[in-house]
Structure 1
Amino acid sequence: MSSSAPPASQTTRVLVVGAGAIGSFYGTLLQSYGADVSVVCRSELDAVRKDGFHIESKRLGDRVFRPAQTLSAVADYQGGPPDFLLLSVKVVEGTDRAAMIRDAVGPRTAIVLIENGVEIEEEIAEAFPGNELISALAFVQVSRVAPGKVKHYAFGDLTFGNYPSGLSERSRQLAAMLDSGGIRCTLTENVVTARWQKCLWNAVFNPISVLGGALDTGHILSGAEGEAFVRTAMREVCAVAAATGHPLPETLIDQFIEGTRKAPPYKTSMALDYENKRPMETEVILGNAVRAGRREGVAIPALESLYALMKMVEIKEAASRA
């Protein structure tokens, strides 16, 4: 579904649902463009209402982001539906994302998913069949260091396009807004393939980092056995992607491994969640790839093993939080 952009004379209205580190980072870039940006954030509501978000970034410069409206629920959003609704919540088991945003979605609202995982769009597409859906992949190292305080370490670029395929005027408008804020946006007509490309790294390095006891990327690739296992699991992801109609370049495995080896060692998002006793995005990062492999009849013993072990860890972690 495609809808026209708001007239140039009107201020673009944006609602960020899930204004954690990623949501607030991209929210401040949109505000710097001149958009009217509001946020829904529950855990840091008082701090953000009082002082806004303080973004520390060597690449973009330190910024203070004071949302137009700081809300605890989308139903409290005032002034009519937003032009863009950015959904940037962690997709963990039990999260009803459609219910989370329903009260703010109008007939012209373009829904933008800045979230991890593969095969995550269908839930939203089915719930809002008349709305334009933009699927975005963030390549960024950013984290919340205190209530209302966010540190941007590196990167920040986005790749996005319309789901299930194509590019619209609204996607191009969003890219122009974010580009003006200082990051690079790559537009793609095949965003599902782009998601599988990111899955090639995420579905392998994330669970390994957790199962190894919060290993960083340097430790994962420090031995021949570790690298060999990474390559085996990555080949399985490639096989699943190809079976779903989204073949990946054969050179991508070498490219990702060498790029990871050259970068300073860091812990994956799931490893950080594991260390901080937070729910992990096992299902969308790994589970959806495993289920796609089963559905397509692809043999994926390494991915199946990683998934089974992750479920054991999740049961243990859930019991410790109870």
Structure 2
Amino acid sequence: CIYGAGAIGGYLASALDQAGAEVSLVARGPHLKAIQEKGLRFEKDGQISTHHLPASENPNEFGRQDFVIITVKAHGIPKIAQNLIPLLGPETAVVSAVNGLPWWYFHKAASRTSLDDQPLQSVDPGGVIWETIGPERAIGCVVYPACEIAEPGLIRHLDGDRFTLGEPSSEPSDRVKHLSALMISGGLKAPQKTKIRDEIWIKLWGNCSFNPVSALTGASLDLIGNDPASRAVIRDAMIECRKVGLAVGARFNVDIERRIQGGADIIGHKPSTRHDVELGRPMELDALTSTVLELARRLEIETPSLNAISALV
């Protein structure tokens, strides 16, 4: 079941349907109505495929699942945690395909800090998700593609096809192997990584710096990364983010200038947080910046640049 069949959820649904999986969708509003009436349409490279899939606002209609893939934004997961219960059987795995540090991050993290086996309050206030879903169900997923809802019921692919998967325990597993095989069969790249947290931090490195600066300025990644003043702000934020990541055991196998340039080379792209501002939607900053600041506070690491950016946004 894809819970939150928006842009990324719709992309995953179309790929898994193509792979022959039994896919159901939880969605709402005009998007749900269009899917129910015309099917989920997916556009890539000018070609449109149509997928007639069970879709509802009520997860009770679908019963227990092998996999539940959550594609609502991180700040929305606590609100839907109780709704997931009808989908969860004894062996159901839950994949949070969202940006930022996930709610399960410190489950079996072995970070050798006081944070191990505790929920992250900035994305899971009061441990609601941790207690309702259970971190033992979690499979890590780092989302790289960009898609958009072109109109209700129609998902347009913009860029990328990679969803990196891994167990919080850093061990290989049959369930990750099975999900990866399904996704690959549907035309996606789905590498399995034992160090999934390192992958999370490399993406977060850009998200916690470029995203809020874009939200503040309205500028695209290339304009931010190629302007000396804003590039310096990004660099300072990344230095602080890396310091926090290293403190909880993450490894960064890319240097800062190369990571910044990777963003600067993407011409005209505005990250999701900027689109949230333009559309008047809540921003997903809790998972992108608040989590890093929460760790910094609890580990007594100074982050003046990230503090300033967060306060301005």
TM-score (norm 1): 0.85
- Check the 8 A contact 1:112/1:134 in 2, yes or no: yes
Counterpart secondary structure, 2:13: helix
- Check the 8 A contact 1:140/1:155 in 2, yes or no: yes
Please, which runs of 5 or more residues in structure 2 have no aligned partner?
Answer: 105-118, 120-126
Which letter does structure 2 place at the counterpart of 1:56? E
Which letter does structure 1 place at the counterpart of 2:306? L
Q: What is the Cα deviation at residue 165 of structure 1?
A: 2.7
Q: What is the Cα deviation at residue 209 of structure 1?
A: 0.3
- Check the 8 A contact 1:108/1:131 in 2, yes or no: no
Q: What is the Cα deviation at residue 167 of structure 1?
A: 2.4
Q: CA offsets per residue over residues 22-53 of structure 1, 9 Å max, x none? A: 11100110111101100000122211101111
Q: What is aligned with 1:150?
A: 155
* 1:160 is the counterpart of 2:165: yes
Q: What is the Cα deviation at residue 108 of structure 1?
A: 1.5
Which letter does structure 1 place at the counterpart of 2:37? K
Q: What is aligned with 1:54?
A: 41
Q: CA offsets per residue over residues 35-78 of structure 1, 9 Å max, x none? A: 1100000122211101111111119x4321221x111121222x
Moved over 3 A (4+): 122-126, 128-131
- Pair 1:294–1:18, CA change in 2 (3 A): same
| Number of equivalences | 290
CA distance in 2, matches of 1:157, 1:101: 26
- Pair 1:181–1:93, CA change in 2 (3 A): closer
Stretch moving more, 122-131 or 32-41: 122-131
- Pair 1:86–1:119, CA change in 2 (3 A): closer
Q: How does 1:276-295 map to 2 (within 5 A)?
A: 276-295=279-298
* 1:203 is the counterpart of 2:208: yes
- Pair 1:232–1:131, CA change in 2 (3 A): closer
Q: What is the Cα deviation at residue 117 of structure 1?
A: 1.2
Counterpart secondary structure, 2:159: strand
Decide which of 113, 119, 141 is 2:96's aligned counterpart.
113
- Check the 8 A contact 2:103/2:130 in 1, yes or no: no
CA distance in 1, matches of 2:89, 2:187: 29
- The alignment yields a C-alpha RMSD, in angstroms, of 1.7
Counterpart secondary structure, 2:86: helix
CA distance in 1, matches of 2:87, 2:28: 16
Counterpart secondary structure, 2:89: coil
Q: How does 1:253-292 map to 2 (within 5 A)?
A: 253-292=256-295
- Check the 8 A contact 1:199/1:285 in 2, yes or no: yes
Q: CA offsets per residue over residues 251-309 of structure 1, 9 Å max, x none? A: 33222222222222200100001101111101111101111111111111000111111
Counterpart secondary structure, 1:259: helix
Stretch moving more, 264-273 or 155-164: 155-164
- Check the 8 A contact 1:141/1:155 in 2, yes or no: yes
